[in-house]
A and B are shown apart, each in its own frame.
Chain A
Amino acid sequence: MSETGKASGGSRVTKRTPLYDQHVSLGAKMVVFAGYDMPVQYPAGIVAEHNHTRAKASLFDVSHMGQISVWGAAGAQALEALVPGDIEGLAPWAMRYTQLTSEAGGILDDLMVVRAGSRLLLIVNAARKEADLAHLQRGLEHGCDAAMLDQRALIALQGPAAAAVMARHVPDSETVAFMTARPLSLAGVDAIISRSGYTGEDGFEISVAAEAAARVWARLIHEPEVAAAGLGARDSLRLEAGLCLYGHDIDEDTSPVEAGLAWSIGKRRRGEGDFPGARRILEELIEGPKRKRVGIRPEGRAPAREGTEILDAGNATVGEISSGGFGPSVGGPVAMGYVEAGCAALDTALSLMVRGTPRPARVVALPFVKHNYHKP
């Protein structure tokens, strides 16, 4: 038996999050991800962890992600020079999804931005965080600057029971609306708690000082509805939720429009056209992109993995799977991929070349599992 199509972790020294000991004591299987020793799953297994998240609530250590602080009187204006999102329009403690774009209109990283008091708090991908920081420090003008908050941990509590669990420890958390954040106290620890996540479920992301992470984790993991979930379940949950994974569904060659992320480009920003890659991005907004990210449902049970060739009804190559696997809540294989615009309509019949054999599939709407966000 041998695993195919997967790079090894390499031998360089790996970093640990402040919750490493908690993962080991829970019996996690650890893997190297973005230079960190991370729990890919606990003894329950990926499918059980996935299902528990959709049914109750799961706790994820996502401390490997980059937390970057941007400051300066004109921080929002300065950041807008690097992203197409409307940052100046962010109300205090509001949160917004955007991308760092290149001059060629590709995506250097995708991120969340919170207007956290007088600063901006950016949550970026682990594998990109050092490059992002350098990019920000180079590109931020108007006397603004950025620094990595590398002494902070990030914990996600996700699932339909997350709100009830959180309310026991932070009564005010019930008033934190979807895609907003607040500075609140949890277990006597100062935290920035946002109503957000990467699973398609209601939930929170909790930023705390590294030395307080174990205390917060212990409080939440002992709640009866809560179980730990690893990166494996995080990936299957986000795939079912139709959310992009950087380096797979989006990268430096992919534009936000191709990726179906045009909703995140502010109306004012479209009019002003003053963000990196605006020429390509605005042109694609008007004329439509040449290729589009779509949901793909393989028929049968065989998963189609990243890199799988996509054919149209006439057996011409029209694209490639960018993320694919098994969706435990769907109960079958699910995938996302890029196809030529002419093949992107819902219900378009496609073939996926899996191990040399074309297998039928069709274009379906994203997400695969309805989002269950808290939107009163």
Chain B
Amino acid sequence: MKIFNIVIKDLKIVTRNWTYFAVLFIFPFFLILTSAVLLNSNSLKNVRVGFFNEGDNLRSLDNLGNIRNYGSLGSCLFDLTNYRISVCIHARNVENEQQIDVYVDNTKRIIELYTKQAILEEIFQEQTNLLEETSGDIDSQLSIYSTSIEEAQMELVRAEKELDDLEIKLMGYKSNLTIARNNFNQVYFEVKSMEPQIQSTKSTILSSQISQDQSISEIRLDLNNIRTDLQVIKEFLPGELSGGALDFVNLNLDASLSSLNKIDSALSSLEQSYPDAEVLDLLNLIENLITRLDEVKNFLDALNEDLESAIQDTRNSRKRVEQFQEKLYNAQNDLSRFKNNNEDKPITLNFKKAFPVISSDLVLISFPFVVSIIITFSSLVLSNKFILNSVNKPSHLREMITPSKDVSFVISDYLVNLLFISVQVVVLILIGVFWLQISPSSIPLFLISVMIASSIFIFLGISLGYLIKSESLSVLITMFLLMFFLIFSDILVPSTLSGAFVRYMINLSPFVILNNLLRDLIIVGKQGSQLILPLFRLSVIFVSTFFIAYLSRKASKDNIVR
């Protein structure tokens, strides 16, 4: 009965404080929702796979989804070691074997194992299917190409033969033309050699003709003068002579005039029957003949050149056909070889480590993760409890009514908590250095990273302490927050399998940043300059959480009044 009454009393207390209900209902719901989001966005397609292909068979991994092709193994590994990709696949031919090297992040044991066992098995199952499908496709394509090449080769042989025939014909034409040209040239050059003589003869004839024509003209002029004179005499005589004398003289004069006319006729006949005119015509004819012969010669020369050019073109064409035949022959050989390779080459799959192995000590490898959990847990819970102890005492009211600034209290509370955490950090460093042999050179960065991350969680714990005065409620919410940080990380599922947005959000979690940072520092051995980005991110979150704590302190004044 007592137990029953106690239970009833407790139930009444709890149910009459709605915030308990809210926390007990909303937070598990929220955590399960977070887990669901993580798991639902979890897909092999999200794994960012880097691919450097030096082989000839593994053509594409496009079916795998998030593939990024690389031009060199170095760039692929660089991105892998900087977490831009999760797996780097290097495909290449080694002798008669196709080798596929798979580089995986070996600093995260769980992820590495998961990646090996689950992701890559799946990837290469798909790849094997792909290869089988590709092999069939390639075989059929190769057969088609091979047939086409053979047909092309036959066509080329026919074309080559036709070119040979054409060349022979052209050579025959050229031979005949050469004979004709030689014969022609013989006549031509003989005739051509006469040309100056003909010119000279022609000139001589023309000049003698001119001289003769001048003499005849002069004679004709004299004849005309005589005729005129005789005419004058004849007209004069009737006045001087008469009768018989006159008749006699007239008769003689008429006879003389008649003779003169005959001479004139004879001269005309002479003019018309010039003995060299035919020669001259003949010479002109020969000159025309030579001109025609020149044209024939030019035509023959051009024809000869065209034939030469046609023969040369035919030879060049045949040479190109021969070269093309050779290429086709090589292509056919390549195809045959490729076909053989495709059928026969075994594939070897090797898993390799992205980072040179620092240690195989599992304690060391999980040390960053353990440190992150310890720091997150202790910072959140310690600071929350510290503030709750403070704000639930009447002395807190006295502090609130002093003229001191809120920021002074926030900084003081933070420093005290950080001091306590520092003790823990020192212990962790001692364990790291003396037990796990962590390099002392990494201690300063280890300290900075842990202190910044711890500060973030301290501020969050302080904020919850200020905002929620109820001790049990505040601790409950702090625990939920802690669970949220753990779930929203690589613990539940590797973030490499999550979608881009979820992965981005996970990478903003201070717990994840701290874990990755410590892993890079301790396991991978990265230097300070390579850790600037996560340190910067932590610093930004540090400043943000400080402001959250400050505002929570301000808001807590309302709680005091209530």
Do the two shown chains form a genuine complex with each other?
no
Q: Please give the residue numbers on chain B whose beta carbons come within 8 Å of chain A beta carbons, in ascending order.
A: none
Residues of A that sit less than 8 Å from B by CB:
none
